[in-house]
């Protein structure tokens, strides 16, 4: 995360004696990226974070991946997926994946187990409901419209709160996710032209401690999954500081960049990951050139697949295609895509678009997973051939 945060009690100097009330030392844990050469945080535990008493292989829910063949645009209806009685981690239904990123959807009504993904960051988007993210860094509350970024190897638990289940889109990276570098100074501060800034970002602000012994934690790592049993609960941190921690940002705080003519997707970019980007399409004033055509022009992104998750409002370019709340469209490299027939003419004269969508563009092809096949609208690819 681009700015420093300090929570709870920490000593004045790092790596110096910091003692508990009984005189014993607190146990330091440095959590850092790129081998001590990038962002890190320093946590102070009451008990040793290394103490495990058991480890066994764990078999997670399975899913398969198949290529997008025949190559064509796809429409997935996530609200058609079965999901009652799921938790926000093990209940995820994987839709699309490649070696850089996995995209899943879940309807969850119960807490997840304690979980650590040692293979990459997670970027979660809450379509509806509310969620509490618990971790050694503290508690982070999220509501509909929030993105939550969970750094690699953070032990965490996701707890649905409120009266309705959580609908969640999970983007799981094989690496790190953060703000686009072009919006940051050389020292990591958001620049003036960034569509969001530090004031919009939320992080844990108080320590969160849970007592317990023989606590199970599921760990996904580069060779599979392992279930560890920790001697003491890992949520025993009295204080921490640094630049690496779970954080949240609301899509409603994204300030759109507009122009006289239609602006390309990079102006909507919100995050970057390894070989992919995440963009936010929000309600906004649209193009104000007197001859402007506000909807996108036909385009062929020759180096990327484009996935768009429709999460609110009316998406003008897709009217008449069957797109609805919770829909996902996949427009692959190798196929020119654009607005539905008649959309360009209908958009002329519009001065405002009321739409909300999350886009993931990948630079390697996305495969289809089981859940995608289960909720696909088979007629979507042919909708451009209809008369407008």
User: Catalytic amino acids?
Assistant: 262
Determine the Cα–Cα distance for residues 126 and 230; give it in Å rounded to an integer: 30
The annotation status of 44 as a binding-site residue, yes or no, is no
The answer to whether 315 is a known ligand-binding residue is yes
For residue 383, count other CB atoms closer than 10 A to its CB: 17
DSSP 232-281: E-S-BEEEEEES-S-EEEEGGG------SSPPPGGGGEEEEETTEEEEEE
Per the annotation, does 305 bind a ligand? Answer: yes
Phi-psi region at 36: left, alpha or beta (left = phi > 0; alpha = psi -120 to 50) = left
Strands in 157-161's sheet, in edge-to-edge order, are 138-143, 130-135, 157-161
Nearest of 101, 119, 115 to residue 58 by alpha carbon: 115
Nearest to 355 by CA among 301, 308, 321, 297: 308
For residue 128, the number of C-alpha atoms closer than 13 Å in the C-beta half-sphere is: 14
Would you tell me how many other CB atoms lie within 10 Å of the CB of residue 80?
13
Contact indicator for 366, 96 with CB cutoff of 8 Å: yes
SS3 of residue 6 by DSSP: strand
Q: Is 279 left (phi over 0), alpha (psi -120 to 50) or beta?
A: beta
Q: Per the annotation, does 337 bind a ligand? A: yes
Distance CA 364, CA 157 (A): 30
How far apart CA 266 and CA 286 sit, in angstroms, is: 16
Q: Which residues are annotated as a binding site?
A: 299, 305, 315, 337
């Amino acid at each position: 995360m681009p700015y420093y945060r300090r929570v709870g009690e920490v000593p004045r100097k790092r790596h110096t004696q910091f003692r508990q009330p009984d005189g014993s030392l607190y146990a330091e844990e440095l959590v850092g990226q790129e081998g001590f050469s990038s962002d890190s945080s320093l946590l102070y535990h009451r008990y040793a974070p290394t103490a495990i008493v058991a480890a066994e292989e764990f078999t997670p829910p399975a899913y398969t991946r198949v290529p997008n063949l025949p190559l064509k645009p796809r429409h997935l209806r996530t609200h058609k997926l079965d999901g009652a009685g799921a938790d926000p981690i093990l209940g995820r239904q994987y839709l699309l994946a490649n070696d850089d990123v996995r995209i899943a959807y879940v309807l969850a009504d119960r807490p997840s187990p304690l979980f650590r993904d040692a293979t990459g960051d997670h970027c979660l988007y809450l379509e509806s409901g509310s969620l509490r993210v618990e971790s050694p860094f503290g508690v982070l509350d999220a509501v509909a419209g929030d993105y939550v970024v969970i750094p690699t190897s953070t032990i965490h638990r996701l707890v649905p709160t409120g009266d309705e289940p959580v609908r969640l889109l999970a983007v799981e990276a094989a690496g790190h996710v953060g703000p686009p570098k072009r919006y940051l100074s050389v020292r990591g501060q958001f620049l003036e032209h960034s569509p969001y800034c530090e004031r919009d970002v939320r992080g844990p602000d108080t320590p969160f401690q849970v007592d317990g012994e023989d606590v199970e934690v599921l760990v996904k790592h580069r060779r599979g999954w392992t279930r560890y049993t920790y001697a003491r609960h890992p949520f025993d941190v009295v204080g921490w500081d640094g630049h690496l921690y779970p954080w949240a940002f609301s899509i409603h705080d994204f300030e759109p960049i507009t122009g006289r003519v239609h602006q390309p997707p990079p102006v909507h970019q919100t995050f970057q990951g390894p070989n992919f980007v995440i963009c936010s399409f929000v309600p906004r004033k649209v193009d104000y050139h007197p001859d402007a055509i506000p909807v996108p022009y036909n385009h062929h992104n020759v180096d990327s697949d484009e996935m768009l998750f429709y999460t609110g409002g009316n998406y003008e370019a897709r009217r008449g295609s069957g797109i609805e709340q919770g829909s996902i469209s996949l427009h692959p490299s190798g196929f020119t895509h654009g607005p539905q027939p008649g959309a360009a003419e209908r958009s002329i004269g519009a001065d405002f678009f009321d739409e909300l969508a999350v886009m993931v563009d990948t630079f390697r092809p996305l495969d289809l997973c089981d859940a995608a096949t289960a909720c696909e609208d088979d007629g979507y690819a042919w909708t451009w051939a209809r008369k407008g």
